[in-house]
Amino acid sequence: MDTQSRIISAVLYLAVASQLVMVSSVLTDDETKLLFAVHNKVRSDVWISAADMQLMKYSPELQKRAEAWANLNFNFIHPNATEYADVGVGLGYTYDTTSGTEEALGEIMNQMVAPGDTYDFESNKCDKDCQYYMQIISASVRSFGCTLRVYNAEEEYKSYRLVCLYSPRYVCQANLRNVTASDLSYHTQTLIEVFKQETQAYLFCLKNRQG
């Protein structure tokens, strides 16, 4: 897809997103258990026998923080750099789908971990932008919490947006954004603000990292 086509796709997506009506936002116990199982399955596939690997715990506190941010701004802008600099972020969405919530969560998680197909254990790197995947598999990350937004839930075609917060935040440099075609989904001014926020978070992380 050329640059012009990507821009058109991004504009169309923003136009569709602006028409969405959020009518539900609560994760059920079964959905929370699903997220817990998927996260730890992904981790176990990488760290098969690592002594320092632990199951990630689901954190109601991180869920509350994710909800607090989502209630203020859920346009795929990363949380406030100062208030959320201690946590990593995972964002995903699926829209215009007839799937149920659990199926949609599965689709979103697949999107978040798919770049991990290029992950190299020895170099600890991916060929693609895999910051969300790295948040999930990092042995240093011990807990996470998520919130879900369901749009047009009463209609045949629904849209789902998920945000997860991870603690402690994965290594600093993994959170600096590389400019890619996906960034075209942001308005220019919004993208500038995103860069400012993530740069501030990076500097905060460097200042406070251990070792």
Tokens 């200042």 locate to 207
Tokens 């949609």 locate to 104
Tens digits of per-residue pLDDT, 25-77? 678 999 999 999 999 988 888 765 544 567 889 999 999 998 887 776 555 55
Least confident of 19-23, 42-46, 185-189: 185-189
Of 3.90.330.10, 3.40.640.10, 3.40.33.10, 3.40.50.1100, the CATH number of 3-208 is 3.40.33.10
Q: What angle do CA 42, 47, 52 make, to 5 degrees?
A: 120
What is the pLDDT, as a whole number, of residue 14? 39
Rg (CA), the chain: 17
Residues in the chain: 211
pTM over 0.95: no
